[in-house]
Chains A and B, each alone.
Chain A
Amino acid sequence: MIRAILRAQFLSMRPRKGRAVRGSAIFSGITGLIFYGMFAFFGFALMLLFSSPEESGNFVQVLSALLLVVMLYWQLAPVISASFGASIDLRKLMAYPIPRHKLFLVEVLLRTMTSFDMLVVVAGVAIGLLRNRLYGASAAPYVISGALAFIVMNILLSAGIRSWLERFFLRTRFKEIFFLILVIIGLTPQLLILANVKKPASLLRFAPSQVVWPWASMARLMLHQGALLSALAAAAWMCAALLFSRRQFERTLRFDGATAQRKERELAPDSFSEKIFRLPSRFLNDPLAALVEKELRTLSRIARFRMAYGMSCFFGVLIFAPSLRRQHTDSGFMQYALPLMAVYGLLVLGQITYWNSFGFDRSAAQGYFCWPIRFRDALIAKNLTVMALMIPQIVLVSLVAHAFHVPSSPAKVLETFVVVSIAALFWFALGNMFSVRMPRAMDPDKMNQMSNKLQALTIFAAPVVLLPVVLAYWARAVFSNELVFAGILAIAAILGAIFYAVGLDSAVNSAIARREAMLMELSRADGPISVT
């Protein structure tokens, strides 16, 4: 039965034939290599650390702190990135007479598959300890059982948290606020720096390492410290995780998501938003105005978008806070801090807007080919919508930045608008091409978004794509001349416009040539397992 479910999922995920699909697979392979490569590197570094006998004196404290960090990442990262990986779609399987414990087992197996990055890290620690001559082969049963206990507990815990969140997001109107709080927890190190804590790494000394804590009990078991007590504590934590996850899973099975969602979807009459939605018609003609208006209405009603927008407004400041703390207001970094934060916001928005423009349209995207409009207009409207959203975003970022003493004069805000617009030309050109060549249906209710792997690639690609803008700032710093800066920005704008026009043509031609495959991908239904 379990094999049948996994096979059905495999069959529904298998790629269709075609050059574009092969390209997508290669791209996915490269991003996967980068993403998991980072964790493999981290795991390797940990292996070196824990294989060193000289460092053994601090191992209890260090390993407890490390497992705490790993556990936090394991449980919080999927929440923060809203990317939970594969999970069983109960709506499709509830109708069949499958015993509940088997469904639960499939869910746990899927959690294991999506925890590969963390497994690599824990394996690095375990291999390091086994290579350490102070531990070696004789300690293998302890090292392995401690590592396994930690892995099992985290997998069960993540299954339980996922089940709970799934119900929470269908039920509450305040999901974005909750998300923001979680992300702020994830950014605790930055906040501690803001609070004048000089060395956040030193805080790890205070990580609880008593045997009663789950991470500490498992660390101690791995290190053969008070093995019996550690093993008992680890077993107790595993049982607790099992009970929690099983209970949450059972509750999800009984949960009536459709009724909970219905309340969410009744729109309150709101004349203010109506005025905002109608604004594009003042500056644009139909069909562009109608298309932008539709985008604004649609995006504003998707919780995942609202959260990403909130992140784009505030997180730039938090992320760059450690650097800001060390700078004077007239330093070089402070001079480009505001544009940097705004561009960061543009990248954050990309995850659910321009990288996969038609993801939320799904099968309705066929309208762009059926209505008497140019497909080009649909793409331009989607790009214009993001730019329209960037205006209040930049104003908000400026206000937040001002509170942190980042230079945010009107001239600086204007400069930020110009820089963001130029950067957007490059990003939109790439985004348009991605959107038509690698479209992927997105379910707004599942809170899914771009994969972690694609996020990693975006971060790596950003310096290359933004090179013309970076060059302008570099020239300003070297020559201390505003005219040189403005001149290079003007060249960057021209290059951006050419790049955008070429990218748009390519995207339009590609969409028309392969519209059938594109619409098929966007209409594609999930298998018995949904990937979010």
Chain B
Amino acid sequence: MSPAIAVNDLRKVYEGKAAVDGLSLTVPRGSFFGFLGPNGAGKSTTIRMLTGLIPATSGSIELLGLPMPAEETAIKQRIGLVPDDSLLFDRLTGLEFLEFVGRMYSLARPVARQRAAELLELFELADQGRKIIAEYSKGMRKRVAMAASLIHKPELFLMDEPFEGVDAVGARLMKDILLDQVKNGATIFLTSHVLEVVERLCDHAAIINDGKIVAEGSMAELRSGSETLEDVFVRTVGADKAYEKLEWLG
């Protein structure tokens, strides 16, 4: 079976500077894959290229065995997306938005409506009934976004910082749902700054720095000896104590 994600020599260049520089990556089906890196390393650019939001300068992308962008529509039909930026229409209620997204994925209106109501219940947002999304807190917005990514039961999830701004209860709920999805055969590709989350959830991970993959493998392979993922991350990416240079801050 083809991997869920196969990226080969992917590049994205902005004004002569490579944001993603020859990235090659394989994500097996059914895996929970963490994509880590410091700010500005190229995580969001990569995920935006995978979703077709921005075109790659060069290289190839295959999702679920289909080439991107040649089979763009077929691929989009099978992936669930939680982007970094808000993908929510602020003037709709949660229920209306979820139904709308379901219909974008070709679900019949009654089916979309029913799933939307069930997802709102699952994400503990059913009591927000008549409130438009503009009124939601950041955590509630993330929950709606995740609910929207589930509505068409995708095979592959692409998630950019899905737990950002979500409280502990909400994050726990979201993690349980995602783990359940993986158990049922779905693949999850997520970026996160919270290394503990990645360590606990993911079975595979890659670390990107300056647009290049600097470490990749299963969690066991990445951690050697008593090292935590944070130790590996800091060692791989490198962090100097720059603040020591600011005497006034000392």
Contacts and interface: CB of A to CB of B under 8 A. Distances in A.
A266 B131 CA distance: 5
Interface string B77-99: 10001010111111111001000
A519 interface: yes
Contact of A287 (B89, B92, B104, B135): B104
Contacts of B90: 362, 364, 444
A286 interface: yes
A281 B100 CA distance: 12
B100 A294 contact: yes
Contacts of B52: 369-370
B109 interface: yes
B191 interface: no
A265 interface: yes
A17 B90 CA distance: 30
Contact of A372 (B53, B55, B73, B96): B73
A84 interface: no
A294 B132 CA distance: 13
Interface string A182-202: 000000000000000000000
Contacts of B2: none
A358 to B, nearest CB: 11
Contact of A366 (B73, B87, B93, B130): B87
Q: From B92, B104, B134, name the one whose CB has the most chain A CB atoms within 10 angstroms.
A: B104
Contact of B86 (A267, A287, A364): A364
A523 B85 CA distance: 8
Given A265-B131, A366-B83, A369-B52, A290 B104 contact: yes
B105 interface: yes
A302 B92 CA distance: 11
Q: From A17, A266, A293, A371, name the one whose CB has the most chain B CB atoms within 10 angstroms.
A: A371
A289 B102 CA distance: 13
Nearest to A513: B55
Q: Give the interface size class of chain A.
A: 35 or more
A412 interface: no
A364 B91 contact: no
A364 B135 CA distance: 16
Contacts of B51: 369-370
B117 to A, nearest CB: 15
A401 B85 CA distance: 47
B53 A266 contact: no
Nearest to B107: A286
A171 interface: no
Interface residues of B, number: 34
B54 interface: yes
A297 B87 CA distance: 17
A56 interface: no
A360 B133 CA distance: 14
Interface in B52-73: 52-55, 73
Contacts of A290: 100, 103-104, 109
B131 A515 contact: no
Nearest to B69: A512
Given A372-B104, A372-B106, A444-B91, A265 B135 contact: yes
Interface string A360-393: 1111101101111110000000000000000000
A57 interface: no
B132 A366 contact: no
A360 B104 contact: no
Contacts of A99: none
Contacts of A265: 131-132, 134-135
Nearest to B83: A366
A366 B85 contact: yes
A240 B52 CA distance: 58
Contacts of B86: 362-364
B92 A519 contact: no
Interface string A252-293: 000000000010011111000000000001000011011001
B109 A286 contact: yes
Contacts of A523: 85
B103 A360 contact: no
A281 B99 CA distance: 13
A291 to B, nearest CB: 8
A361 B97 CA distance: 13
A268 B93 CA distance: 12
A229 B73 CA distance: 77
A265 B133 CA distance: 9
A102 interface: no
A371 B104 contact: yes
B103 A286 contact: yes
B89 A361 contact: yes
B87 A287 contact: no
A515 B76 contact: no
Interface string A339-366: 0000000000000000000001111101
Contacts of B106: 286-287, 372
Interface string A290-317: 1001100110011000000000000000
B53 A516 contact: yes
B105 A372 contact: yes
B114 to A, nearest CB: 15
Nearest to B76: A372
Contact of B91 (A302, A370, A371): A302
A427 to B, nearest CB: 24
Interface in B106-129: 106, 109
A260 to B, nearest CB: 13
Nearest to B158: A370
A3 B104 CA distance: 48
B146 interface: no
B104 A367 contact: yes
26 contacts: A265-B135, A267-B93, A267-B131, A286-B103, A287-B103, A289-B103, A290-B103, A293-B100, A294-B89, A294-B92, A297-B96, A298-B89, A301-B132, A364-B86, A364-B90, A366-B53, A366-B83, A366-B87, A367-B87, A370-B51, A370-B53, A370-B87, A371-B101, A372-B73, A444-B90, A519-B53
Given A267-B131, A281-B109, A301-B91, 5 more contacts: A287-B106, A366-B85, A369-B53, A444-B91, A515-B53
